[in-house]
């Protein structure tokens, strides 16, 4: 991956994030984003791109919505200059493409005037991306030999709009793609009809293009205003006029996925949730990345010194979380350098999710309890094996209780608690909370009890009720369900296999009914 920080300090990168689907950012754009010091981001930037950045990255939300700006453009410009002159590499992350109705040209000129070096990384513009996800080609050898991008902003204001609507209305054998059109669609269509465009000309409106909650409506030009009102179409939306709209019926592909249209809130930490994000997106869901916990390395030198004294000796190594596996092996290799130094040990995993992470290290656990809870792990292990005189190492975080240690010690084992990580409760970046309630989830997933505890710390009780009532609440297993219910939240689905794939399978089965 190219490292932005190896380049000249104080550079601003104007990066297009694409039209909504986080997978549509270019590789160059993603590499620069992940290596920057600061990100300055807009309202329409996919949340997954922001939430997945390291905590060390400074994040500035400057989101713009119709009629409301977090920061005026002039202040955004000054902010970028200040950050760059402080010696930081700044990623100015913009929805769609920076230079297609994105004011990237204004920003680049301001940076130039103030002596700040910059680079421009293009993105997929909404007019192309939304059309493609709707099955509408912008050009076609027979139907459209050119495409015209137009802004519909202030189309009804003769003094402000500089679009030559009378010329646009006379377009033949081409496609017209109009941005920011919803609020002015009646004026736009009126101008088209007044200037001679045929009322039967095919057209389409695409709301929230490239997102799984995308909605596409087609009609003739004369019928579109009524359709927009009847369907309550809202920004962001693209308006397309042209014969190519007729191809949609045979070319549409995006709407066929099993979870299409579902908004699924993922509370798992982003560094552990990438596969979950990807799987849900591939099934058609819109992923809402709202981590309610985070984890970080927390080495205990005293515990590792004690562990070093029993290296090579017989023991049970007990993992009660996926995080425990990741952090333990990172620390173990860092201290001892060779996995073979684990010596003669048996390994227990609390459930199939933890076992799956062990498999990534080419390790198969010797024991998995029938019920995926820490208490069941200890009790079933005690029933299955004679633990008298056995050494047991419990890898753990800072949360949870000591029931595993207590049960094993009652069975005669000598237990060494080995803290490997710390769980903390993060804050969401600016703008995230507002967007969550503006477009709330249909499904909320909890992959541990602590993810539910974290949500209840982030939001007041009244907001929790608003967020969860009437939603499908998905739990990864019995102990997580118990904690969810303790907060007065009903559990809709509990994974049969207590793992992330188990969670996703339950969601698919439930919504396919």
Residue 343, both tokens = 């010596």
**CA–CA separation, 259 and 402 (whole Å):** 40
Question: What local confidence, expressed as pLDDT, does residue 513 receive?
Answer: 66
Backbone dihedral angles phi then psi of residue 469, each to the nearest 5 degrees: -65, 130
**Are residues 43 and 63 in contact, defined by beta-carbon separation less than 8 angstroms?**
yes
Burial of 340 (0-12, 13-18, 19+ CB in 10 A): exposed
> What secondary structure letter does DSSP report for 255?
G
Question: What local confidence, expressed as pLDDT, does residue 1 receive?
Answer: 39
Residue 314, both tokens = 């017989």
Catalytic (active site) residue 64: yes
Catalytic (active site) residue 31: no
| CATH number, domain 4-123, options 3.40.1010.10, 3.30.70.580, 3.40.50.300, 3.40.50.10190 | 3.40.1010.10
Specify the fold of 296-424: Rossmann fold (3.40.50)
Question: What local confidence, expressed as pLDDT, does residue 8 receive?
Answer: 66
Its CATH architecture, for the domain 263-293+426-512, is 3-Layer(aba) Sandwich (3.40)
Question: What local confidence, expressed as pLDDT, does residue 219 receive?
Answer: 97
- Which of the following is catalytic: 21, 37, 42, 442? 42
Question: Of 473, 438, 430, which is closest to residue 455 (Cα–Cα)?
Answer: 473
Beta-sheet strand order (sheet of 315-319): 345-349, 315-319, 391-396, 414-419
**CA–CA separation, 390 and 393 (whole Å):** 10
DSSP calls for 318-373: EE-SHHHHHHHHHHHHHHHS-GGGG-SEEEEESSHHHHHHHHHTT---SB--SS-S
Are the folds of 128-254 and 296-424 the same? no
Sorted by where each begins, the domain ranges of the chain are: 4-123, 128-254, 263-293+426-512, 296-424
The pTM is what?
0.88
Q: Which residues of the chain have pLDDT under 50?
A: 1-5
- Which of the following is catalytic: 9, 28, 59, 64? 64
Beta-sheet strand order (sheet of 202-207): 147-151, 175-179, 237-241, 202-207, 215-220
Sign of CA dihedral 40, 46, 47, 53: negative
Q: Packing angle between helix 352-360 and helix 322-336, nearest 10 degrees?
A: 30
**CA–CA separation, 264 and 472 (whole Å):** 9
Question: What local confidence, expressed as pLDDT, does residue 157 receive?
Answer: 60
- Can you give the three-state secondary structure of 372-423, one letter per residue? CCHHHHHHHHHHHCCCCCCEEEEEECCCCCCHHHHHHHHCCCEEEEEECEEE
| CATH number, domain 128-254, options 2.40.50.90, 1.20.1260.10, 3.40.50.970, 3.30.950.10 | 3.30.950.10
Question: What local confidence, expressed as pLDDT, does residue 479 receive?
Answer: 87
Which region, left, alpha or beta, applies to residue 416 given φ > 0 means left and ψ of -120 to 50 means alpha? beta
What are the beta bridge partners of residue 205? 217, 239
- Can you give the three-state secondary structure of 164-232, one letter per residue? CHHHHHCCCCCEEEEECCHHHHHHHHHHHHHCCCCCCCEEEEEECCCCCCCEEEEEEHHHHHHHHHHCC
Question: Of 203, 200, 213, 192, which is closest to residue 238 (Cα–Cα)?
Answer: 203
Mean of pLDDT over the chain: 93
**Are residues 92 and 80 in contact, defined by beta-carbon separation less than 8 angstroms?**
yes
């Amino acid at each position: 991956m190219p490292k932005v920080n190896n380049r000249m300090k104080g550079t601003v990168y104007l990066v297009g994030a694409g039209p909504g689907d986080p997978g549509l950012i270019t590789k160059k754009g993603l590499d620069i984003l992940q290596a920057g010091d600061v990100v300055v981001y807009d309202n329409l930037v996919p949340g997954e791109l922001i939430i997945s950045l390291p905590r060390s990255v400074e994040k500035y939300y400057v989101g713009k919505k119709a009629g409301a700006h977090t920061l005026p453009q002039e202040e955004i410009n000054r902010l970028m200059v200040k950050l760059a002159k402080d010696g930081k590499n700044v990623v100015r992350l913009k929805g769609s493409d920076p230079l297609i109705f994105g004011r990237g040209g204004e920003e680049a000129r301001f940076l130039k005037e103030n002596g700040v070096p910059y680079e421009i990384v293009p993105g997929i513009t909404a007019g192309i991306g939304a059309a493609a996800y709707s099955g509408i080609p912008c050009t076609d050898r027979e139907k459209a030999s050119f495409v015209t991008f137009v802004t519909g902003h202030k189309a009804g204001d003769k003094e402000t709009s500089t679009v030559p609507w009378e010329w646009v209305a006379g377009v033949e054998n081409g496609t017209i793609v109009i941005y920011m059109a919803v609020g002015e669609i009646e004026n736009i269509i009126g101008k088209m009809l007044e200037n001679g465009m045929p009322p039967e000309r095919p057209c389409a409106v695409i709301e929230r293009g490239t997102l799984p909650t995308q909605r596409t409506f087609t009609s003739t030009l004369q019928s579109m205003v009524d359709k927009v009102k009847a369907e309550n179409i809202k920004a962001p939306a693209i308006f397309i006029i042209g014969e190519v709209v007729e191809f949609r019926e045979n070319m549409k592909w995006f709407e066929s996925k099993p979870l299409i249209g579902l908004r699924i809130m993922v509370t798992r930490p982003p560094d552990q949730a990438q596969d979950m994000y990807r799987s849900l997106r591939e099934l058609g869901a819109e992923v809402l990345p709202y981590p309610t916990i985070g984890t970080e390395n927390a080495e205990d030198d005293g515990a590792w010194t004690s562990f070093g004294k029993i290296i090579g000796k017989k023991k049970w190594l007990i993992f009660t979380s996926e995080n425990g596996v990741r952090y333990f092996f990172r620390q173990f290799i860092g201290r001892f350098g060779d996995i073979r130094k684990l010596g003669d040990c048996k390994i227990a995993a609390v459930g199939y999710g933890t076992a799956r992470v062990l498999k990534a290290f080419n390790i198969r656990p010797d024991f998995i309890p029938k019920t995926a809870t820490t208490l069941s792990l200890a009790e079933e292990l005690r029933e299955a094996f004679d633990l008298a005189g056995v050494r047991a190492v419990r890898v753990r975080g800072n949360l949870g209780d000591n029931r595993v240690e207590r049960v094993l010690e009652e069975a005669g084992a000598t237990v060494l608690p080995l803290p490997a990580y710390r769980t903390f409760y993060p804050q969401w970046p600016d703008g995230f909370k507002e967007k969550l309630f503006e477009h709330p989830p249909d499904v909320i997933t909890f992959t541990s009890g602590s993810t539910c505890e974290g949500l209840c710390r982030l939001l007041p009780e009244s907001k929790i009720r608003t967020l969860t009532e009437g939603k499908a609440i998905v739990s990864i297993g019995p102990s997580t369900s118990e904690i969810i219910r303790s907060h007065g939240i009903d559990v809709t689905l509990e994974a049969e296999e207590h793992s992330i794939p188990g969670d996703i399978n339950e969601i698919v089965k439930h919504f396919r009914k």
